[in-house]
Structure 1
C-alpha cells in the first residue's frame, strides 16, 4: 500500500475570511469524489488534517513539475499530525479551526489528544459534514451592555421621530451586518420614548417564512389581538373586531378581509365579499393601510420592521404602499435589513438610509471593559483579543476568565453554561424565533415543572424574552443569531427527529395552525425527511396562496413541491400529481408575471 501526502494552503498568496471554511469543504468534497471513483474507491482512502495559523512560505524546492514552495511553521506540522490521526475518509481539524467555523458544519468531539512534536494536548474535532445552518454567527451583545458609540444614529432617529410627531412622516432604513446593532439601536429609541404618548407596532420577518404571504402582519395581528389556543372562531373574530375598531369605525370590509387572512370564519356576521383573487389582495393591502392611517390620526405611530431581507413578496408590496403614504402621517417607520437586500425606497424625500459601520477601537475597548467588570485592557484591543483567544485565558480579579474564540462561540458558551436547558433551547430554536408556551409544552417530552425551570433559566440569561404568563405566554429569542446558535448545536438526526415531532404535534393538537400555515407544515416535514408529507403541504400552501391572489408565493410553493416530487419513485400516481403541480405552477407564474 502506498501513501501519498499532499499539502494545500488556503490563504496564500491571498487571504480570505472564509479560508478555513473553504479548506474543510475541499476536504469533504475530496472524500466524496474519491468514493465515486468506479473500481478504485475500494482501494483509495483519504485522510484530511486541517490546522489554522501563521506559516512562512520559503524558497522554491524541487524542479519541473515537482517544484513547490516550502511551507514552514508549526501549523503545517500540526496539520500533518492531524492527518495521521484521522480515520480513513475523515476530516480532522484543530480547535482553533473549529472556532473559526462555528456552526457551518456538524462535528464529533475527539477531545484533547497528545500529539508528537506538540508540547501540549490539542483539542481535536472530526468534521461530519456540512450542517443545515448556512451562516457564521458574527456578533452578540448582552442586553445589559450600554449602547456605545451610536450617539449620532440615535440622535438622527430622535430627530426623525420629532418630525413625525409634527405630521412630517419619515422612514429610516437601517442596514448593517448581522449582529452589528440594528435591532439594538431601534430598541434604544423605543426605550427612550418610555411613557410618551404613542402607538408602536413591531413586525418580525422570518427566514422560514419568506414565501408566506404577509406573515409579519399576520403574526403581529394575532399577538395584538391576544389570540389563545382555546379561543373559538367566534371569540377570535370578536378579538379581531376589537383591535380593528381602535383604528377604524368602518369595519364592513376590513373585518372579513383580515379575518380571511387569519383563517377565521365570519359566518353570518358579515356578508361575503365577492371579489376576484386579485381584487381581494388589493383590498386587503388597502385595509391594512387604512388601519395605519387610523392609528396615526389618534396619536404618533412608530412602526418597526425587523429583518426585511427575509420578507415575503406581498409584504414588500404592502410596505411600498405604506412608505409612500407615511410622508403625510404622524408616523415613523424603521426598517432593518442586511447589506444583501437592496431597498427600493432609497432616494424618496422622506426616506433616510442609515448604514452601520463597525465601532472604532476606543468604543470597542469601552464595551469590553464594561463586560469585564471594569478590568483595564490595553489600547491594542484587536491584537490583545486575538492573543487572549489563542491562550484561552485572561487573569482578572484573582480568577481566570475564559474568553470565547469568536462571538458565535460566545453564544454557544452561554448555552453550555445552561447545560440542563440545552434540550429546551434546541426545541425552541426548531420551533422558530417566536413560539408559544402551549406549543413547546406539547412538543417537549418533559414534565411541566422541568420545562418551566428551563424556560426561566433562558429568560434570566437574557437569551429568550417572555410575554404574558404561562400557559398563555409567548416567547421570542433575543436575536436570530441566538436561535441559530441553539439550532446549530444539534446533529442532523436530532434535527430531523424534532422537526417530525413538531409537524406531528401541529397536525394532531393544533389543526388550525396546520390549516392556516401549510407552508410551515411543509418546512417541518421536509426538514424531517418526510418527502410525501412535505409535497402535500407545499401543494396546499400554493393553492391557499392562489385563493388569496398572492401569486409570487404560490409559484414558490408549487416549485418546492415539484423539486421534492422528483425524489419519489416513478409511478402513475407521481406522474399525475406532477402534472397537476406543473399546471398549477404555470397558472401562478402567468398571473404573477404575465
Structure 2
C-alpha cells in the first residue's frame, strides 16, 4: 500500500514525511489510534477524525486477526459488541510536561506557524519518552501527560521517567522557531493509581488514570523553573543516588492535604555501580545470626581451599 498516495487522496499529503519517518506502512496503518496520530504530529482534530475514519475503512476492507480473548460477542438483538478493557491498579510514575511561554509565542507567530511548532513539540516529546518506555496518555494543548509503568511495568519506571524528563528538556530546547529557542518544565510524581479506563470516543478517546499521582505531577510542573524538572518524595526514594538532586523543601499543593517534599533534578550522578547508587546508606547490619555467619565463613574457607561448596540463603 502506498501510504503517500493514500494521504494525498485524503488531501492530507503534508503528513507523508511524518508517516515515513515513523515507518508507517500498510500493515501498521490499520492499528493506528488517536494517540498515535497525535504522536505523528496530527494536531488538528478535524484531520485526526478524517484519518481515523479512513483507517476504519481500511480496517473494514482488511480486518486484522483477533485473538480469541477479544472476539466480538453476539447479543440477543443480533448486534455485536466488544468487551470493555479492564482498569488496573498500578504503581505509576507520571510525568507532566508543559511548554514555557506558549501564549507569548502564539501572539507573534502566524497560527499556521504556531501549529507547526506545537506539532514538532509533540513529536519530539513522543519520540523522546518512547525511547525510555513512556506512554503518551494525553496531549492538552502545550501540555503532555506521560505514564511510566503502564501498559508495561518495570522496576526502574521512576528512573526511566527522570531520564526521559532530562532528555525531553534537552530535546525541546533544540526547537527554535523564528530563532526563539523553546523551553519546557517537567513535574514527576510516583504512586498508586487506577489506569486503563477508556474515556471519550474517536479522536478524543484517552486512557484515563484515577488517583492523586497525576495531579501531583501537574502541580510540581508549575513549580519548576524553565528547563527544569521537579520530583516528589516517592520518586526521589525510587531513584536512589542515580541522579544529583537539590531539595526544594516542603510545599503545599492546591487540592492536596499536607505538605509535599520536592526536589529539583540537576542531572545524572557519577556512581561506581547501580547497586551502590540504589543503596547509598549501605546495607543494614545483621543482628545475631552468629551461627549462620560462622557457617558461611567455614564454607568460604573450604571453597578457598579448593573444596567446592554450595550454600542456599533464603530471606
TM-score, normalised via structure 2 length = 0.49
Q: Radius of gyration: which is bigger? A: 1
* Higher relative contact order, chain-length normalized (CA < 8 Å, sep 6+): 2
* TM-score where L is the length of structure 1: 0.27
